[in-house]
């Protein structure tokens, strides 16, 4: 409702301003365009605030227009950089819009019947060369800082290996007893109340809250992509190669992601489900997981691979 009102107000006000431009003299045009700019900024702010209100935590929200809420320091920096770029892009777009409006009104054939024959303007040419360089340099500083934060893995509290397969994920915990299990999507007919469609998995990755989780990512067959938006992580799972990423979940709860690399016919049916719990609950889960997911040495390792079915672990 807020978004619709903002758009209506912006369009109505813009039409009013354009009408005034046609009626008023050249001496008041800059004042009118300043008002148009203010209206556009106000409408943009209302739209942005409406989008932020519709963003979700851990999973998509209906009619969401913004990033998911951050649940890790990395995602907080990603969101901050994103909004910073929106302001930069918005300011540039408004500046260009104002210049185009001035040109259309002041330098059309009726208002300026004798056009200038000027072909060069040294100050303007220097300005439009230097200003973009300055803008890019201002953008580069937080961009490089964010890249460094994403790629520089802190000392981990726990390491998890995520292996992408067609079409599910396998997780192993080498630091907590070296057990491994598969995580497959729950069919829509088997969903329980509150479980999101296409995102719920039968076995979730479980991690402790406020701990640095080091994730080793690889692929078993084709290239997949391990992505959890609220944690600000997205990295390819490449067969024969180990990539790494990390996150530190600051909020307990369920967080969902999906494979973000086109990996075959069931690409859209291999969700990532991460459950963040407190330390005591994590210790209890690890104790149960060691028994539940203990390897069955009586089953040949290639039996299920040959049949094209996931392991029963």
Q: What span, in angstroms and rounded, lies between the C-alpha atoms of 25 and 43?
A: 27
- What per-residue confidence (pLDDT) applies to 44? 53
| Domain at 163, CATH number | 2.60.40.420
Whether 50 has a pLDDT exceeding 90, the answer reads: no
The residue from 117, 150, 179 where one domain ends is 117
Of 168, 162, 167, the residue nearest 207 (C-alpha): 162
Instruction: Indicate whether 253 and 112 sit together in one domain.
Output: no
Q: What span, in angstroms and rounded, lies between the C-alpha atoms of 214 and 157?
A: 8
Mean pLDDT to the nearest integer, 212-230: 95
User: Is 141 part of a structural domain of the chain?
Assistant: no
User: Is 185 part of a structural domain of the chain?
Assistant: yes
Contact 40, 10 (CB under 8 A): yes
- What per-residue confidence (pLDDT) applies to 18? 43
Instruction: Indicate whether 43 and 166 sit together in one domain.
Output: no
Mean pLDDT to the nearest integer, 24-34: 48
- What per-residue confidence (pLDDT) applies to 298? 54
Q: What span, in angstroms and rounded, lies between the C-alpha atoms of 276 and 283?
A: 12
310 pLDDT tier (thresholds 50, 70, 90): very low
Mean pLDDT to the nearest integer, 161-165: 96
Query: Which of 106-110, 129-133, 225-229, 309-313 has the least mean pLDDT?
Result: 309-313
**Hey, is 172 helix, strand or coil?**
strand
Q: What is the mean pLDDT of the chain?
A: 82
Whether 7 has a pLDDT exceeding 50, the answer reads: no
Q: What span, in angstroms and rounded, lies between the C-alpha atoms of 91 and 130?
A: 17
Instruction: Indicate whether 188 and 85 sit together in one domain.
Output: no
26 pLDDT tier (thresholds 50, 70, 90): very low
Residue pLDDT, tens place only, 182-214: 999 999 999 999 899 999 999 999 999 999 999
The residue from 117, 144, 170 where one domain ends is 117
Instruction: Indicate whether 102 and 189 sit together in one domain.
Output: no
Instruction: Indicate whether 162 and 297 sit together in one domain.
Output: yes
Residue pLDDT, tens place only, 143-154: 999 999 999 999
User: Is 153 part of a structural domain of the chain?
Assistant: no
User: Is 11 part of a structural domain of the chain?
Assistant: yes
Instruction: Indicate whether 97 and 230 sit together in one domain.
Output: no
Q: Please calculate the CA angle 142-147-150 and round it to the nearest 5 degrees.
A: 125
User: Is 24 part of a structural domain of the chain?
Assistant: yes
- What per-residue confidence (pLDDT) applies to 242? 95
Specify the DSSP class assigned to residue 185.
B
Mean pLDDT to the nearest integer, 214-226: 96
Q: DSSP readout, 198-267? A: TT-BSS-EEEETTSEEEEEEEESSS-EEEEEGGGTEEEEE-BT--EEEEEE--S-EEEEEE--S--STTG
| Containing structural domain, residue 13 | 2-117
Q: Sign (positive/negative) of CA torsion 70, 74, 77, 78?
A: negative
User: Is 250 part of a structural domain of the chain?
Assistant: yes
Instruction: Indicate whether 171 and 283 sit together in one domain.
Output: yes
User: Is 122 part of a structural domain of the chain?
Assistant: no
Instruction: Indicate whether 79 and 208 sit together in one domain.
Output: no
- What per-residue confidence (pLDDT) applies to 17? 44
Q: Sign (positive/negative) of CA torsion 276, 281, 283, 288?
A: negative
Instruction: Indicate whether 174 and 244 sit together in one domain.
Output: yes
Domain count, the chain: 2
Q: What span, in angstroms and rounded, lies between the C-alpha atoms of 229 and 79?
A: 11
- Altogether, the residues listed in the chain come to a count of 313
Rounded CA Rg of the chain: 27
The residue from 96, 117, 138 where one domain ends is 117
Contact 21, 32 (CB under 8 A): yes
Residue 30: partners with Cβ closer than 8 Å, 6 or more residues away: 102
Instruction: Indicate whether 111 and 169 sit together in one domain.
Output: no
39 pLDDT tier (thresholds 50, 70, 90): low
Residue 128 φ/ψ, nearest 5 degrees: -75, -5
Residue 79 φ/ψ, nearest 5 degrees: -65, -40
Q: What span, in angstroms and rounded, lies between the C-alpha atoms of 260 and 228?
A: 10
- What per-residue confidence (pLDDT) applies to 58? 86
Residue pLDDT, tens place only, 53-88: 456 788 888 888 889 999 999 999 999 999 999 999
Alpha-helical segments (H) within the chain: 2-23, 29-54, 73-106, 122-151, 279-292, 303-307
121 pLDDT tier (thresholds 50, 70, 90): confident
113 pLDDT tier (thresholds 50, 70, 90): confident
User: Is 312 part of a structural domain of the chain?
Assistant: no
Contact 106, 284 (CB under 8 A): no
Task: Provide the whole-model pTM.
Answer: 0.72
Instruction: Indicate whether 180 and 110 sit together in one domain.
Output: no
- What per-residue confidence (pLDDT) applies to 111? 85
């Amino acid at each position: 409702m807020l978004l619709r009102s903002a758009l209506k107000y912006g369009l109505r006000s813009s039409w009013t301003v354009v009408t005034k431009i046609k009626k008023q003299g050249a001496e008041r045009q800059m004042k009118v365009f300043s008002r148009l700019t203010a209206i556009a900024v106000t409408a943009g702010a209302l739209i942005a605030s409406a989008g932020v209100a519709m963003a979700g935590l851990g999973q998509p929200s209906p009619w969401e227009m913004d990033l998911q809420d951050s649940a890790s320091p990395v995602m907080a920096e990603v969101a901050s950089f994103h909004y910073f770029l929106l302001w930069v892009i918005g300011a540039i777009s408004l500046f260009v819009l104002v210049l185009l409006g001035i040109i259309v009104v002041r330098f059309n054939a009726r208002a300026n019947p004798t056009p200038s024959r000027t072909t060069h303007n040294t100050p303007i040419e220097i300005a439009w060369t230097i200003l973009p360089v300055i803008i890019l340099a201002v953008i580069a500083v937080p961009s490089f800082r964010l890249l460094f934060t994403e790629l520089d893995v802190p000392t981990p509290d726990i390491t998890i290996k995520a292996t992408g397969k067609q079409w599910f994920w396998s997780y192993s915990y080498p630091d907590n007893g070296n057990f491994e299990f598969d995580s497959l999507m729950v069919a829509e007919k088997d969903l329980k109340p509150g479980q999101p469609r296409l995102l719920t998995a039968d076995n979730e990755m479980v991690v402790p809250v406020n701990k640095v989780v080091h994730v080793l990512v690889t692929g078993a067959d084709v290239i997949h992509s391990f992505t959890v938006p609220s944690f600000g992580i997205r990295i390819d799972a490449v067969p024969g190669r180990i990539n790494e990423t990390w996150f530190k979940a600051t909020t307990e709860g369920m967080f969902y992601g999906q494979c973000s690399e086109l990996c075959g016919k069931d690409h859209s049916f291999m969700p990532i489900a991460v459950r963040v719990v407190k330390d005591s609950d994590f210790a209890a889960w690890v104790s149960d997981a060691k028994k539940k997911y203990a390897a069955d040495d009586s089953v040949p390792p290639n039996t299920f691979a040959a049949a094209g079915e996931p392991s029963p672990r």
